[in-house]
Structure 1
């Protein structure tokens, strides 16, 4: 195995670190966020699980870690099982407990040509890739609140990309973690479980939010203006 780190970390703000897996195929290279709080830390999304995320993160053992999966797709739940306090939406509760390919889409990754640019372990075999089950310990729905002592995050149910897609909104500071509901790139609406009508409703809802920064499931952070631009482009494409 290469001696270079599997994960890369980037400090986005005083409290937010973005972690990525640069050797993973770009389509599956999702953002992982570590948000440091006064009483608890948030970890939002969990990559592919090809190496241990928990061992990589700078975790303060004196505080609880609140692990939030924005949805159950393979590129967001790989290391979810490593954490004890697991939050996810009720619409996908059963899928977190069983991690079936039909819900996680893990089979797409297994058969993706050049799914990784280098092996994560010496025993790596893409054909044997699978996800560890990660039953939810905390089932959330629209309006649930997750508090770190530094910020309070309201759960937004943002379906369309998947049935249980959620975002976390810090209304006080105008911060949204949006998962794959929206990000700075081409939105994906043609996978099993996607619903275009719900996605369009989600786009309209996002445009009503008073936010200053949006941390998406892929790509770079966005301003409110950029988020609205992405939403409007999607709406125009669907109206053709």
Structure 2
């Protein structure tokens, strides 16, 4: 297998003047998650941190001296891989202590190690899935329902959105309606059959999301969505989970 070309491990899509999406196109689709970067006046925000197979920070075009708040919406491997690269690490209270050890029982990193087609190009010479390990990234701020993340010119309210995982959180800019849903909701097949998933709790989260006043949503996987599409995703899940 060939090594991924230099500078191409991450695919960058500019959404608007503040939001950029990064993807890892050489990672197996099941584990290829969205990485969102939000520019703020006083601080920038990273929502989820991918697999950690290649350094993420060189791809972000960071501003020297400007703080970056790196936030994990939950502790699954495809969202926490590069969290260790950042000084300010934010994550959910439900799994807060586990970020210091990144156990397979919560991250599911062992599932990636056992894939024959884990990647379509190597992240580094001689790499194999057996080499995959998550670097511990102890949280510097533990987030709970109602906490506010202030970037200077905009702020996000933390929403606890369990079901897919016990620790799932999302972020809502209540002024603009900009919403980051993590793996609680995204425009692709939603997963509720993992060992730590809870379908009854997930249904409650979906009922809550029905009332959320969003303008645009960015999920942990798949394309972005508007309020109408989010309603369709919710209703489809509730029908399937009934």
Is TM more than 0.5 here?
yes
Aligned match for 1:167, one of 165, 170, 180: 170
Which segment drifts farther, 122-131 or 162-171?
A: 122-131
Indicate the RMSD between aligned Cα atoms, in angstroms: 0.8
The DSSP-based 3-state class of the residue aligned with 1:75 is: helix
Q: TM-score, normalised by structure 1?
A: 0.98
User: C-alpha displacement at 1:14, in angstroms?
Assistant: 1.2
Name the structure 2 match of 1:208.
Answer: 211
The DSSP-based 3-state class of the residue aligned with 1:209 is: coil
Name the structure 1 match of 2:239.
Answer: 236
User: C-alpha displacement at 1:16, in angstroms?
Assistant: 0.2
Distance in 1, Cα, partners of 2:28 & 2:122:
12
The DSSP-based 3-state class of the residue aligned with 1:194 is: coil
The DSSP-based 3-state class of the residue aligned with 1:133 is: coil
Distance in 1, Cα, partners of 2:5 & 2:92:
37
Please list, as runs of the form range in 1=range in 2, the aligned pairs for 1:21-36 lying within 5 A after superposition: 21-36=24-39
Distance in 1, Cα, partners of 2:48 & 2:107:
13
1:5-43 per-residue CA deviation (whole Å, 9 max, x = no partner) reads: 111100011100000000000011100011000000001
Is 1:92 the equivalent of 2:95? yes
Name the structure 2 match of 1:178.
Answer: 181
Distance in 2, Cα, partners of 1:134 & 1:150:
28
Off by >3 Å, runs of 4+ in structure 1 = none
Please list, as runs of the form range in 1=range in 2, the aligned pairs for 1:47-196 lying within 5 A after superposition: 47-196=50-199
